[in-house]
Amino acid sequence: MTASLMDQLKARACESPKTVVFPEGESPRIIEAAAQAAAEGFAFPVLVGNPQVIGDIAAHRGLSLDGVAIRPLPDETEAEALAAAYLEAGGMLSRKGILRRMKSPMYFGALLVASGQGDAMVAGLEHSTAEVVLASSTIIGFAEGISTPSSICLMECPGFAGPEGELLIFADPGVCEKPDVSALADIAISSARTAKALLNWEPRVAFLSFSTKGSVESEIIDLQLKALEEVRRREPDLKVDGELQFDAAIVPDVARKKVPEGSDVAGAANVLVFPDLNAGNICYKAAQRLTGGNAYGPFLQGFAKTVSDLSRGSSVDDILGVTVMAVLNSQS
């Protein structure tokens, strides 16, 4: 993140630090990021792993682990207690199933969050997005009214002058490949919630298309219009519109021409919902490369507790940025 944006977000995170669980706690990059997060006071990190291994890595790198908790994989007594709490809360897995999965740091980390011993989970440095999503879906479950996991990218586009300055949210660039009506509605609602939680924005959500307000007829557009109708039914106070072409969504002059009837969203959208993963992923990478801007994420959403996914190539600074976002999302 740029220094100014990161400083702003860190300042907000420090107002109410949250406990963040890192299942890949023996990774040197994770250990360094956790040490820095604790030192700066915006998170209470929990590293899952062998205390001796983690301590040796920290000592070798000259890192202080003050304020960092370490949780080894559970012994039989702790595992039974966690399994009982999981089943009592209505967990999907059998007792044997949850005990077996608890041998995995990813599932154990998710259980810590689900049981209230953590506010958020940050993972993905050594696991695929699919693995993070599966563990989170199985153990943590979904947010109220949501049945589809998804993601957003926070885009910082130099030269763009929108209602939120150079910032826009793109959804979904990382998870849901071909959303149906219900999934597309979930993506829009989750993205609006994320925008409010992370950035204190009043979300204005646009369903993006190659058509604006019926200029073209298509099955894809029909799907988007049904999703729009569902969002308005489920979240009547949310500002949402579609279908809108990209320029009609973010450029006021274009919106006035293409949406003459007026709209709370057209020309002023800050949350852009793409029709599928193909479009969302291509566009966020294109915007990042062509503008020389920054893309923060993809950031997972739609779960009952905050879950953040890391790229396997994430630097320590990247991990810190995702951790800050996880704390902010957990504050809501």
User: What's the confidence (pLDDT) of residue 13?
Assistant: 95
Q: Please indicate, yes or no, whether residues 168 and 258 belong to a single structural domain of this protein.
A: yes
Domain hosting 40: range is: 5-141+303-330
Residues 82 and 174 in one domain: no
Residues 183 and 274 in one domain: yes
Same domain for 137 and 38: yes
CATH code where residue 61 lies:
3.40.50.10950
Query: What's the pLDDT score for residue 218?
Result: 84
The answer to whether 34 and 22 have CB atoms below 8 angstroms apart is: yes
Same domain? For 18 and 61 the reply is yes
Q: What is residue 306's predicted lDDT score, i.e. its pLDDT? A: 95
Residue 215's pLDDT is 74
Distance from C-alpha of 330 to C-alpha of 43, rounded to nearest angstrom: 11
Q: 173 and 50 share a domain?
A: no
Q: Quick: pLDDT tens for 173-193.
A: 989 999 999 999 999 999 999
Both 224 and 313 in one domain: the answer is no
Q: Please identify every stretch of the chain with a pLDDT value under 50, giving residue numbers as ranges.
A: none
Cα Rg of the chain (Å, integer): 21
Write the pLDDT tens digit of every residue in 202-227: 999 999 999 998 777 788 899 999 99
The Cα 239–Cα 197 span in angstroms is 16
Token output for 168: 């826009």
d(C-alpha 127, C-alpha 3), whole Å: 28
Distance in angstroms between the alpha carbons of the first and the last residue of the chain: 22
Clarify whether residues 281 and 310 are in a common domain.
Answer: no
CATH classification of the domain holding 241: 3.40.50.10750
The whole-number pLDDT of residue 1 equals: 56
State whether the Cα torsion 97-99-103-104 is positive or negative.
Answer: positive
Same domain, 182 and 79: no
Q: pTM of the full predicted structure?
A: 0.88
In this predicted structure, what is the pLDDT of residue 329? 93
Task: Give the model's pLDDT for residue 294.
Answer: 82
Q: How many domains does the chain have?
A: 2
Q: 158 and 132, same structural domain? A: no
Residues 210 and 104 in one domain: no
Same domain, 122 and 256: no
Q: Which residues pair with 299 in a beta bridge?
A: 152
